[in-house]
Amino acid sequence: MKYSNDKIILRPLERADIADRLRWETEETEWQLWDGPWEYEGRTGGERAEKAAALERRLLARLAEEEPEDGFPMGLEICINHPAQTHIGWCSAYTIDEECCISDRGDRYAVGICVPPRSMRRKGYAAAALTLYLQCLLESGLSEIYTQTWSGNLSMLGLAEKLGFEEYLRKPGFRTVRGGVYDGLTFRLNLEKFYHQ
């Protein structure tokens, strides 16, 4: 299923997207300085190749999955809403537990977004995409939605605030990034703020 607004289109993964995702994982990697950088720091060439191969396997498996008839999509690709429908990133949801740790057994949903091409940032695409994804999740029946980041990711902090997320949990000194110590942050969506943005 596709969702769109005047700026972007959210749609399921297509085979052609895999090349973009692998390029962003291995070549155009500046975004990794901001989106979970602790996952990327210090990786060897072999480890990067292993992670890229694992990503490719996961994406190919997603292609084989059927879209859910009920519920909501756990991940959608972001494209610019123009004739070429340029692929610029993805939105996803994942589960967290009561301590706001990522867990397959968690009963709360958190959302994330990534727009790897630097040239596509600061144009309103991320806000438009995450707004649309949140609307999709809310319309499916979710009433409590979270997002997570670290205190050094100023762009995500600004986006979260703009969309109506409020700080829910702060874990002081939880992340070390490029030698600095940062807090781990979880935000919960304030529905009133979201609907009145």
pLDDT single digits (tens) 97-154: 999 999 999 999 999 999 999 999 999 999 999 999 999 999 999 999 999 999 999 9
Q: Is 10 helix (H, G, I), strand (E, B) or coil?
A: strand
What is the spatial distance between Cα 83 and Cα 54, in angstroms, rounded to a whole number? 32
Looking at per-residue confidence, does 29 or 151 come out higher? 151
Q: What pLDDT shows up at residue 68?
A: 64
pLDDT single digits (tens) 35-92: 888 888 888 888 888 988 999 999 999 888 876 666 788 999 999 999 999 999 999 9
The tokens describing 81, both together, are 């809403």
The tokens describing 64, both together, are 């084989």
What is the spatial distance between Cα 25 and Cα 8, in angstroms, rounded to a whole number? 22
Instruction: Calculate the alpha carbon distances from 136 to 31, 48, 71, 89, 145 in Å.
Output: 25, 33, 10, 17, 12
Of the spans 104-108, 158-162, 177-181, which averages the highest pLDDT? 158-162
Q: Is 184 helix (H, G, I), strand (E, B) or coil?
A: strand
Mean pLDDT of 179-195: 96
What is the spatial distance between Cα 106 and Cα 96, in angstroms, rounded to a whole number? 5
One-letter amino acid for residue 69 of the chain:
E
**Cβ proximity of 120 and 140 under 8 Å:** no
Taking alpha carbons only, the member of 14, 130, 97, 115 closest to residue 62 is 14
Query: How is residue 73 annotated by DSSP?
Result: -
**Cβ proximity of 90 and 40 under 8 Å:** no
**Cβ proximity of 133 and 10 under 8 Å:** yes
Q: What pLDDT shows up at residue 46?
A: 87
CA-based R_g, the chain, Å:
16
Q: What pLDDT shows up at residue 119?
A: 94
pTM comes to 0.92
Q: How many CA atoms does the CB half-sphere of 163 hold within 13 Å? A: 28
Looking at per-residue confidence, does 41 or 17 come out higher? 17
Mean pLDDT of 182-195: 96
What is the spatial distance between Cα 113 and Cα 186, in angstroms, rounded to a whole number? 14
Domains and CATH numbers, the chain: 3-195 (3.40.630.30)
